[in-house]
Amino acid sequence: MTKSLIYSIFFHVIMIGLTILSLPFMVRQPVDLPPIVSVELIQISDKTNIPFAPKARKIIEDTKKKEERVVSEQAPPAAKAKEKPDRIPLPNEKKEKKQIVKKKQNPEEIKPEIRQSSEFEKKEIIDTNQIAALIDKAKEQEFVKQKKNKELTQSSVKNSFASGLTLSEEDALRAQIFGCWSIPLGLPYDKDLLVRIKLQLKKDGTILKSEILDHQRMNKPGQKFYKVLAESALRAVRLCQPLKVPPTGYDKWKDMQLNFNPTEMLKG
């Protein structure tokens, strides 16, 4: 009896602990994001010049000075957040966040601030609390957006640049495989004949394992063309060994997926 009670309490405590711990863990992540802040504030000054220059040059000049200060005050926490080891920043995440912040924050944030500068005293112009609040608000929205975007972009925009290869590295690899792949010319151009091959690579670019992702389709009746194409794609990959992979970042490219689609060639 006591044993089971202890077990129960123990597990309950663990569960409660987990919820308490995991929540801030999840929330802190997005809050820690903003290397963005500095970028966005610099842009404020650029834009504010345009509408308010004739009305309140002095005020704006002052705000500029103070904004610069603000930048220097706010930047350090941002830099720290960047260095946090438990969050491994994916290049595509960073990029997306920056873009979204720019769009979102400029109109919302700049204008109220500038209105303040023209309507109230100079001191109130830099209401850091308000800025921070706005940023936080924007971040929340962004985070939701990013989540959606992630799901979308990672499946539809197959940009390996975003996930580990630079454009030139990707181009080199692609060009290499173009050269090895003899497209079977008898294939019909109007059918869906996408062959996806998953590769596991060694550090030198040779193939440890290759797998056709829809390999069940190969042996179905009426899928002769698919089989021929899949075989030609496998042949190409094997012929091309070792693949031209970057000398570094093995973890990023050791698993790779190649999508062979001959439609463009066959149509031409």
Partner 1 sequence: MKNFFILLSVFLFIFNKAHSLIEVDITRGNLDPLPIAVSPLHVDVKSEKYENIKIKNLGEDISKIIEKNFKGTGLFNPLKKEAFVQKPDIAHLKPRFEDWRLIKAQALVTGKILIKDGKLKVEFRLWDLTAAKEMTALAFTTTPTNWRRVAHIISDKIYERLTGENGYFDTRIIYVSEKGPKNQRVKKLAIMDQDGANTKYLTLGNELVLTPRFNPTNQMVTYLSYFRNMPRVYLLDIETGTQEVVGNFPGMTFAPRFSPDGKKIIMSFAEDGNSDIYTMDLETRVVERITNHSSIDTSPSFSPDGKFICFNSDRSGLQQIYVMRSDGSNVKRITFGKGIYGTPVWSPRGDLIAFTKVRKGRFYIGVMRVDGTGERLLTENFYQEAPSWSPNGRVLVFYRETKSGSKGEGFSAKLWSIDITGYNERRLNTETDASDPSWSSLLSK
User: Residues in the site for partner 1, rule: CB under 8 A?
Assistant: 17-18, 21-22, 25, 86, 88, 90, 150, 154, 158, 160, 162-165, 170, 173-174, 177-188, 190, 224-225, 227-229, 231, 233-236, 238-239, 251-253, 255-265
- Shortest spacing between CB 168 and partner 1, in angstroms: 13
Shortest separation between residue 92's beta carbon and partner 1, angstroms: 8
Q: Which is nearer to partner 1, 128 or 259 (CB)?
A: 259
Nearest to 33 by CA among 77, 91, 67, 99: 77
Closest contact distance (angstroms) between CB of 261 and partner 1 is 5
Query: Is residue 95 within 8 Å of residue 162, measured between CB atoms?
Result: yes
* Long-range contacts of 118-126, Cβ-Cβ distance < 8 Å, separation of 24 or more: 118/52, 118/55, 118/56, 118/59, 122/59, 122/62, 122/63, 122/66, 125/59, 125/62, 125/63, 125/66, 126/63, 126/66, 126/67, 126/70
Q: Which one, 115 or 238, has the nearer CB to partner 1?
A: 238
Cβ 226 to partner 1, closest distance in Å? 8
Mention every residue, 6+ apart, whose C-beta is less than 8 A from residue 174.
none
Whole-angstrom Cα distance, residue 207 to residue 14? 44
Q: In the complex with partner 1, which residue's Cβ is closer, 44 or 212?
A: 212
Q: Which is nearer to partner 1, 1 or 185 (CB)?
A: 185
Distance of alpha carbon 117 from alpha carbon 45, whole angstroms: 12
Nearer to partner 1, 6 or 21 (CB): 21
In angstroms, what is the minimal distance from the CB of 36 to partner 1?
Answer: 21
